[in-house]
A = this chain, B = another copy of it.
Amino acid sequence: MNAPDKIPFADQFALSREPFPASRKIYVPGSNESIRVPMREIALSNGELITVYDTSGPYSDPTAAIDVRTGLADVRGAWIAARGDTESYNGRQRAALDDGVKNEAQNNGTTIERIEALRAEAAGLQRTPRRAKSGMNVSQMHYARKGIVTPEMEYVALRENGKREWMREYLGDPAREARLRGNPMGARIPDVFTPEFVRDEVARGRAIIPANINHPEVEPMAIGRNFGVKINANIGNSAVTSSIEEEVDKLVWAIRWGADNVMDLSTGKNIHTTRDWIVRNSPVPIGTVPIYQALEKVGGVAEDLTWAIYRDTLIEQAEQGVDYFTIHAGVRLAYIHLTAQRRTGIVSRGGSILAKWCITHHKENFIYTHFEEICEIMKAYDVSFSLGDGLRPGSGADANDEAQFAELKTLGELTQVAWKHDVQTMIEGPGHVPMHLIQANMDEQLKHCHEAPFYTLGPLTIDIAPGYDHIASAVGAAMIGWMGTSMLCYVTPKEHLGLPDRDDVKQGIIAYKIAAHAADIAKGHPGARARDDAMSKARFEFRWRDQFALGLDPQTAEDYHDETLPKDSSKEAHFCSMCGPKFCSMKITQDVRDYAAAKGVSEQQALNDGMAQKSAEFKAVGGEFYVPVSSFAGPPQERQHPLGGPGEARVGGPDSSLTTKG
């Protein structure tokens, strides 16, 4: 562990707060001034203003004053208060055990000192928790089912729409539109997202808005198959390395590059304090796996876990403002032996912890048996379920096996239990799945989980790419995203090898933005394609700076360009280093346009007529079609053709040359 020195935040966040090139933060107003939906506006050199979805929060707004020691400004506080169904209360007493310290005796002074120092740094982040008043249910799903359109729902609608007026210019002709409308694969994505549409999707359980009432800093977003595909980035310290300072930096870094959600998978010491830092400074929903902390509380001995300790941990984290919990309720005693013949057994941490507990006690999973009690906690804070796939495959060889699908069916049953309590729910999925088995995962999930949002890790399509698993899994992620998965959990280049550093996090996120965007385009999300068209237009017009600004990673694109053509003038050059000035196909295309504009169709007609006539002539004499050799074909002897007569070249069989598409 590092020493608890004061951190030079200014330095740490300098880079992460810098706006993207040619971009500024704008806020689209809702039905009242408390609703201000952030977006990123890109000003192109041709005067176009392109607006894109923005996950980066206030960090990319130069006018926002941010002190990570006191946390972000409140977004939802007034909305929560206005509903009048919550109360603030003295939360549970914070214990040393919350940060992994069993008792003084167990730990040397340094550890205690370190923990106290870190807690001191988190002092400004403490809040008095709120919970539902007795008998109340404060979940977005509960409001939705009562027909209430919350500010969160309106916010989500505006955010999914974006400012799409600018897109009209890119709609193109009807034929292109039809071709590019996409294949939604069963999704029903509207042209315009209305607050009522969002309410209906949440009411049906087809979408969730992860938003704990104790996380008022969150900028509401939706996870559902009829919305844009979202991505999640995992951060967290670990028993072996990392520090709290890195975690907050990773959070800001992750949302800068496009993480829609972040999961804090911290283990080891200082878990509670780390979470204070992350939640209070996060504009995106934060998810956790509470069993990790519960295990720390029992010194890492899985069989010592109890419902009491687990339950207390859920309340502890709900009070801090965690937006969704990964709950491994589907790891049932009855399924564990199904993993015995697997190539890689159980690879989910939570799954293996619970399997160990079940087989040690020969008892059913206590999370399963106490599931409805957990629902009571979730609806008192509006924490969403992320039903964990503890038995997911850890290799292509184990994909879609009996253990995996047995658990999936149970998750479907539990989804209905959660919905009975109006608790928002999504379902976690694999993992490692060869391409030909991906569709079955989606089909089974939709069938058994009643369209509850699917949230998959990858899947990785092969096992032999350590160091490049962000790519091996981006392939599977793009496909399953198209097929209906609502959120993709990223994989970094360090998967299977080590802990991701800052750049690994970025690499993983970019790979997953690519996968999610490819899925949105294939599904036909109405807001997806125009950014690509704007990029293509910028390419065709050699507006290099606009190309960089429209890319997922402007700086890297510009750096790569400059490696070959560093001269600033080349930014306006009407050619690129790939082809050089003479070979530029885009330049030549302009000539084609002039040509087509001038005489395209008539030319075409003349050509067809000529061909038809010639064809008739020669068919009459030999049933084969001849094209006179052009006069530019070089000296006579080179025109001799072994098969055709002198000066003639036979092309194809009878009529084949008549095939024209003019």
Contact = CB atoms under 8 A, between A and B. Distances in A.
A373 to B, nearest CB: 6
A187 to B, nearest CB: 12
Contact of A595 (B336, B550, B657): B336
Given A241-B577, A345-B540, A529 B396 contact: yes
B632 A533 contact: no
A103 interface: no
A399 B536 CA distance: 12
A607 interface: yes
B341 A517 contact: no
B376 A642 contact: yes
A359 B592 contact: yes
Contacts of A359: 591-592, 595
Interface string A358-382: 0101111010111111001000000
B361 A632 contact: yes
A369 B627 contact: yes
A537 B662 contact: no
A501 interface: yes
A40 B338 CA distance: 36
A308 B632 CA distance: 8
A507 to B, nearest CB: 9
A630 B363 contact: yes
A351 interface: yes
Interface string A532-560: 11011101100000011011110011011
Contacts of A300: 582-583
A580 B295 CA distance: 13
Given A240-B564, A337-B603, A345-B593, A395 B533 contact: yes
A150 interface: no
Contacts of A501: 563
Interface string A461-497: 1111111101110110011001000000000011011
Interface string A30-42: 0000000000000
Contacts of A466: 535, 547-548, 551, 553, 557, 560
Contacts of A82: none
Contact of A475 (B341, B474, B589, B662): B474
Given A336-B596, A521-B396, A465 B552 contact: yes
A443 B653 CA distance: 23
Contact of A417 (B344, B494, B595, B652): B652
Contacts of A347: 585-586, 589
Interface in A588-621: 588-593, 595-597, 600-601, 603-604, 607-608
A602 to B, nearest CB: 10
Contacts of A356: 588, 591-592
A414 B652 contact: yes
A64 interface: no
A573 to B, nearest CB: 10
Nearest to A478: B475
A531 interface: yes
B630 A268 contact: no
A8 interface: no
Interface string A438-458: 000000000000000000000
A96 interface: no
Contacts of A307: 629-630, 632-634, 638
A629 to B, nearest CB: 7
B334 A661 contact: yes
A661 B496 contact: no
Nearest to A538: B463
Interface string A322-362: 00000000001111111111011111110111011001011
A632 B183 contact: no
Nearest to A483: B435
A70 interface: no
19 contacts: A172-B343, A175-B401, A179-B401, A238-B580, A239-B581, A241-B564, A307-B633, A336-B592, A336-B595, A337-B601, A343-B536, A348-B585, A352-B589, A372-B641, A373-B649, A462-B517, A463-B536, A467-B556, A468-B556
